[in-house]
Amino acid sequence: MARLILFNKPHGVLSQFTDERSGRPTLADHIDLPGVYPAGRLDRDSEGLLLLTDDGQLQARIADPKFKKPKTYLVQIEGVPDEAALNTLAQGLTLKDGPTRPATVRRIDAPDLWPRVPPVRYRKTVPDAWIELTITEGRNRQVRRMTAHVGHPTLRLVRWRIGDWSLDGIAPGKWRNA
């Protein structure tokens, strides 16, 4: 039977078990299980749900964009988006590597999350807002590029859900079996 691990990747941790540079935290600092590998990636600057498995077929079904597995992110952005910005995100937009698929997006109240280390920079003169964004692809830094494209750079990015799997009840740096 395939093993599936749900891990809450902290900010600053690489989505791999080894690093050619020394001193950067990796998955090996949090998970001591032989034979499991990430199904997809999260940037070092991003936090949240990372799935790991020992089953190559399951890994492909989770990570490959052709399966259109929805991924939901809680995103703190600079500025307060208007309806036009939200509609552009929802309809899909064209990035340097081509058009994105339509997304589901809505403004949300600030979620009750753990403190980020290091904290997100705070600027008195620039408001921020939170959105929930669900995409069905996972290009390199896609969510960050999408929010920047509509004039609202990402300040904090937390992947909360992949398909039916959620981060509910998993503290940063901790994992559990699915």
Q: Given 19, 43, 54, 164, which residue is catalytic?
A: 43
Q: Spell out the residues 6+ positions from residue 42 whose beta carbon is closer than 8 angstroms to its own.
A: 9, 15, 48, 49, 50, 159
Give Rg (Cα) of the chain. 16
**Residue 145, amino acid:** R
Residue given tokens 């900010």 in the structure block: 11
CB of 146 within 8 A of CB of 132? Answer: no
54 is catalytic: no
Q: Where do the DSSP E strands lie in 109-153?
A: 128-135
- Residues noted as catalytic: 43
